[in-house]
């Protein structure tokens, strides 16, 4: 049986639910830059990242791209399709060669019909994801750019090298992730670099002072 990650959407799944999902999983491999699915596509599966990294992004009405997250091994995504067989709410692209596990919605629903007690677990997990999405929306709408940049760097750094605190993103890419202009992000990073909080090189941001950055992230907000 394929092993699913103990993180993300599945972090608090019961052993029985994990066993059911693992029994339905199949493997998917993607090359760097390959799109797994696009915003607006029909949703029919949940995915877990085993190796590589996946970018989650959306397009605004005026065509502007906003990167929402960078998914590392252990992350689970696409779970909305298990509850609502509608269209995908975001585009997911491999930023490096990736290996995923896929669980088809139809297979999960068949198992839930046979074992309805597992549906309670699924509903609880869906509620947790909805709360996470609500927090993300509040951050984008209400928090200032420096706070959003600090939170995103802290979110990404442990996944991309906890020993060095290095985040492999350009300033333009980081701006997409926090929903700000490149100029605003560059200005913020320049100030932090002078203060010794981060180092900035081409395509990388390295965190030098985690405690100060955690304070700048204002963890008590929301």
155 against 146, higher pLDDT: 146
Q: Which pLDDT score, from 0 to 100, does residue 158 have?
A: 62
**The total number of structural domains that make up the chain:** 2
The reply to whether 15 and 124 lie within a common domain is yes
The reply to whether 71 and 105 lie within a common domain is yes
Question: Which residue, of 123, 141, 159, is where some domain finishes?
Answer: 141
Q: Which pLDDT score, from 0 to 100, does residue 222 have?
A: 57
Residue 162's pLDDT band (cuts 50, 70, 90): very low
Distance from C-alpha of 39 to C-alpha of 55, rounded to nearest angstrom: 12
The reply to whether 176 and 118 lie within a common domain is no
The reply to whether 40 and 116 lie within a common domain is yes
Res 135 pLDDT > 80:
no
The reply to whether 43 and 135 lie within a common domain is yes
The reply to whether 134 and 109 lie within a common domain is yes
Which residues lie below 8 Å from residue 151, measured CB to CB, with a gap of 6+?
A: 139, 143, 217
What is the CATH classification number for the domain harbouring 176? 1.10.10.10
Percent residues over pLDDT 90 in the chain: 27
Question: Which residue, of 141, 165, 183, is where some domain finishes?
Answer: 141
Sign of CA pseudo-dihedral 130, 175, 150, 96: positive
Residue 8's pLDDT band (cuts 50, 70, 90): low
Report if residue 94 sits inside a domain: yes
The reply to whether 131 and 187 lie within a common domain is no
Res 164 pLDDT > 70:
no
Question: Which residue, of 141, 164, 185, is where some domain finishes?
Answer: 141
Average pLDDT over residues 49-77: 82
What mean pLDDT, rounded, does the chain reach?
83
Q: Which pLDDT score, from 0 to 100, does residue 128 have?
A: 72
The reply to whether 94 and 131 lie within a common domain is yes
CB count within 10 Å of CB 115 equals: 12
Average pLDDT over residues 23-28: 90
The reply to whether 50 and 115 lie within a common domain is yes
Which helix (H) or strand (E) segment is 93 a member of? strand 91-104
In this structure, of 29-43, 60-74, 203-217, the range with the lowest mean pLDDT score is 60-74
Report if residue 222 sits inside a domain: no
The reply to whether 123 and 136 lie within a common domain is yes
Which helix (H) or strand (E) segment is 55 a member of? strand 45-59
Structural domain boundaries, residue 190: 143-217
Q: Which pLDDT score, from 0 to 100, does residue 105 have?
A: 87
The reply to whether 91 and 175 lie within a common domain is no
Res 104 pLDDT > 70:
yes
pTM metric for this prediction: 0.70
């Amino acid at each position: 049986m394929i092993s699913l990650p103990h993180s993300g959407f599945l972090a608090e799944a019961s052993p029985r639910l994990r066993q059911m999902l693992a029994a339905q999983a199949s493997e998917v491999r993607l090359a760097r830059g390959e799109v797994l699915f696009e915003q607006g596509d029909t949703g029919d599966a949940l995915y877990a990242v085993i190796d590589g990294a996946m970018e989650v992004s959306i397009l605004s009405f005026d065509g502007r791209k906003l990167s929402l997250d960078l998914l590392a091994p252990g992350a689970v995504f696409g779970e909305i399709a298990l509850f609502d067989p509608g269209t995908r709410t975001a585009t997911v692209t491999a930023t490096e060669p990736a290996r995923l596990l896929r669980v088809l919605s139809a297979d999960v629903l068949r198992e839930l019909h046979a074992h309805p007690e597992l549906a309670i677990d699924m509903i609880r997990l869906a509620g947790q994801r909805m709360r996470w999405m609500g927090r993300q929306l509040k951050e984008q709408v209400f928090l200032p750019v420096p706070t959003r940049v600090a939170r995103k760097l802290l979110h990404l750094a442990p996944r991309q090298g906890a020993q060095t605190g290095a985040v492999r993103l350009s300033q333009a890419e980081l701006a997409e992730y926090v929903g700000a202009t490149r100029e605003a992000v560059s200005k913020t990073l320049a100030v932090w670099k002078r203060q010794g909080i981060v180092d900035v090189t081409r395509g990388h941001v390295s965190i030098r002072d985690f405690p100060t950055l955690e304070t700048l992230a204002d963890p008590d907000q929301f």
